[in-house]
């Protein structure tokens, strides 16, 4: 039987940097093939070549054992290849149905736009039901949580007819139950004759669901092997070049301090149907603790984060109180004022909300401090000081891949982009840290570094609010765990927390 997809001897450079030097990969029909590697190992670059987004400088690409050349993603789609990217390719002001209509095959018979949209909506509901998703085809993308947007991306490629599916970190923002359901569905698609490439950093997913695994490091293919015959420790060592122990929960070094943040009766404006995205949130966060907020995506976590950060679209007009000790109600403060009182924010969407990919590393670092006057007036910035500060921060936070602070931030891998965000946000010791899915899409090493920074902030006296749909991350970091459902906190758990009880609370109320 022919291979579904094969890449051999692939080379690719960006801005003089060799992202792929000798990469090989093959996926067979009927299998789930996992692709492992650190951030920056070349996994996404290799899969972007398979999806038609990049053209290789050397090497061959084969589909069904036939050599192909793609002029773009449409060519790849014609060969029934679909990729769900880690950073979504959705038009935010459009509805779910409109986004999927953009990539849907053209019908043989003439249909009006309205007829086609209704047909697409029916297809979405049917496929979503088959996958166990709950998706409203008429809802705008910018009103969906990150987890819901990911589900839309998966529906989009399947409804476009893909039989070779490339999934980049598909379970990064899903709960345990959702992830298991999705991967079981993906496994079923493979057993039905499709080929699935699973780009992931979750070793448990590889061991449980993958038939084979390929490991990449430094732009090269290191090994292809069977997960069942390989230990997790061996996979980690192949991935990062050394063994990194996965740390469990580590309690704070000192007793927690006084209440730093108080959220009382926080409600967003009601929709025409009477639903509130935030519906009476009650929360107390102490200095010197990490409070982990778990929950199924779409239950108000993103809106709560936006309300604390001061984003204008955080659920509309807000009732209730967000009180920061010594500074009063945050709702009355602008975003720059919130930064001035020591609030650091690590948003879930690092490229959409934390970084401007088209600007330089130095500009992305400096923008967090321009309002303080450190770099002079906005019309005559002190570029030398910006460069010096950025270079020092890049060294201190070990941001790799920065050949010059003048290079675009978009050229950084996911882990190093996140470390740049941390360098900026932790440039001054914060009193309150809001971290939303801080290790989403990061490898073992980068995740460990991010977690270490959050623990250090807590041990330095900061109050840390961790919002994450990765229950492993919450249980590793949080001193207390809250479950958020239907716009409110439905329960709290002290450490050591019962994983099953937390998961049940999320399911019972989600």
- Between CA 236 and CA 214 the distance in angstroms is 12
C-beta separation of 290 from 227 below 8 A? no
Q: Mention every residue, 6+ apart, whose C-beta is less than 8 A from residue 360.
A: 405, 406, 407, 408, 409
Q: How confident is the model at residue 175 (pLDDT cuts 50, 70, 90)?
A: low
Tell me what percent of the residues of the chain surpass a pLDDT of 70.
94
C-beta separation of 322 from 263 below 8 A? yes
Nearest in space to 420 (alpha carbons), one of 440, 453, 398, 444: 398
Domain 257-342+432-447+462-510 superfamily per CATH: P-loop containing nucleotide triphosphate hydrolases (3.40.50.300)
pLDDT of 509 above 70 = no
Structure tokens at 390: 């950025």
CA distances from 278 to 296, 312, 314, 315, 324 (A): 14, 15, 9, 7, 19
Nearest in space to 436 (alpha carbons), one of 424, 417, 418, 448: 418
Backbone angles phi, psi at 369, to 5 degrees: -125, 0
Rg over alpha carbons for the chain, rounded to the nearest Å, is 23
C-beta separation of 287 from 260 below 8 A? yes
- Between CA 375 and CA 386 the distance in angstroms is 7
- Between CA 104 and CA 341 the distance in angstroms is 48
The stretch 85-108 carries a mean pLDDT of: 85
Question: Is 72 in a helix, a strand, or coil?
Answer: coil
pLDDT of 214 above 80 = yes
C-beta separation of 494 from 303 below 8 A? no
The predicted pLDDT at position 507 comes to: 61
What is the CATH architecture assignment of 3-240? 3-Layer(aba) Sandwich (3.40)
C-beta separation of 169 from 440 below 8 A? yes
Q: How confident is the model at residue 505 (pLDDT cuts 50, 70, 90)?
A: confident
More confident residue, 300 or 175: 300
More confident residue, 332 or 271: 332
More confident residue, 249 or 1: 249
Task: Count CB neighbours of 126 within 10 A.
Answer: 11
The stretch 338-351 carries a mean pLDDT of: 88
Say which DSSP state 435 is in. Answer: E
The predicted pLDDT at position 313 comes to: 63
CA distances from 456 to 49, 133, 497 (A): 39, 38, 22
The predicted pLDDT at position 103 comes to: 82
* Of 132-136, 316-320, 401-405, minimum mean pLDDT range: 316-320
| SS3 sequence of 134-202 | CCCCCCEHHHCCHHHHHHHHHHHHHHCCCCEEEEECCCCCCCHHHHHHHHHHHHHHHHCCCEEEEECCC
Q: CATH 3.40.50.300 in the chain: give the residue spans.
A: 3-240, 257-342+432-447+462-510
Task: Count CB neighbours of 9 within 10 A.
Answer: 13
Half-sphere exposure (Cβ direction) of 95: Cα atoms closer than 13 Å: 13
C-beta separation of 487 from 281 below 8 A? yes
pLDDT of 173 above 70 = no
C-beta separation of 375 from 367 below 8 A? no
Nearest in space to 468 (alpha carbons), one of 140, 145, 44: 145
Nearest in space to 460 (alpha carbons), one of 260, 247, 254, 286: 254
The mean predicted confidence, pLDDT, of the chain is 87
């Amino acid at each position: 039987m022919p291979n579904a997809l094969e890449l051999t001897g692939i080379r690719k450079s960006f801005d003089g940097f060799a992202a792929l030097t000798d990469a090989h990969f093959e996926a067979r029909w009927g299998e789930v093939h996992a692709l492992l590697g650190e951030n920056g190992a070349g996994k996404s670059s290799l899969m972007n070549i398979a999806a038609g987004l990049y053209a290789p400088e050397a090497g061959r690409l084969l589909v069904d054992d036939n050599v192909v050349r793609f002029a773009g993603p449409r060519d790849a789609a014609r060969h029934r290849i679909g990729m769900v990217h880690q950073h979504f390719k959705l038009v935010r002001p459009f509805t779910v149905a409109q986004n999927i209509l953009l990539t849907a095959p053209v019908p043989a018979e003439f249909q009006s736009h309205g007829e086609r949209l209704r047909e697409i909506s029916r297809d979405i509901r049917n496929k979503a039901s088959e996958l166990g998703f709950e998706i409203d085809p008429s809802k705008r993308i910018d009103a969906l949580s990150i987890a819901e947007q990911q589900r839309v991306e998966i529906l989009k490629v399947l409804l476009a007819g893909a039989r070779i599916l490339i999934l980049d970190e598909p379970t990064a923002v899903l709960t345990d139950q959702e992830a298991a359901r999705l991967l079981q569905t993906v496994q079923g698609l493979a057993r039905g004759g499709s080929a699935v490439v699973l780009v992931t950093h979750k070793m448990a997913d590889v061991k449980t669901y993958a038939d084979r695994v390929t490991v990449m490091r430094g732009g090269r293919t290191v090994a292809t092997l069977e997960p069942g015959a390989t230990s997790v420790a061996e996979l980690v060592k192949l991935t990062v070049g050394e063994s990194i122990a996965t740390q469990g929960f580590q309690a704070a070094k000192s007793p927690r301090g006084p209440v730093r943040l108080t959220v009382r009766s926080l409600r967003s404006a009601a929709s025409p149907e009477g639903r509130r995205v935030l519906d009476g949130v009650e929360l107390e966060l102490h200095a010197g603790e990490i409070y982990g907020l778990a929950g199924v995506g779409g239950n108000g976590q993103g809106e709560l984060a936006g309300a604390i950060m001061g984003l204008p679209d955080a659920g509309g007009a807000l009732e209730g109180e967000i009180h920061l000790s010594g500074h009063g109600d945050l709702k009355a403060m602008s975003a720059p004022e919130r930064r001035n009182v020591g609030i650091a924010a690590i948003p879930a969407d690092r490229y959409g909300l934390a970084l401007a990919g088209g600007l330089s590393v130095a500009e992305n670092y400096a923008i967090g401090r321009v309002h303080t006057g450190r770099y002079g007036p906005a019309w005559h910035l002190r570029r030398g000081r910006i460069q010096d500060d950025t270079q020092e921060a890049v060294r201190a936070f070990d941001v790799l891949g920065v050949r010059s602070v003048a290079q675009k931030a978009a050229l950084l891998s996911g882990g190093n982009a996140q470390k740049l965000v941390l360098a900026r946000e932790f440039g001054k010791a914060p009193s309150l840290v809001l971290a939303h899915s801080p290790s989403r899409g990061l490898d073992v090493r980068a995740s460990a570094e991010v977690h270490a920074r959050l623990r250090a902030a807590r041990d330095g006296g900061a109050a840390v609010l961790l919002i994450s749909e990765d229950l492993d991350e919450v249980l590793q970091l949080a001193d207390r765990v809250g479950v958020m459902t239907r716009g409110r906190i439905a329960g709290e758990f002290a450490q050591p927390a019962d994983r099953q009880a937390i998961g049940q609370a999320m399911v019972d109320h989600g």
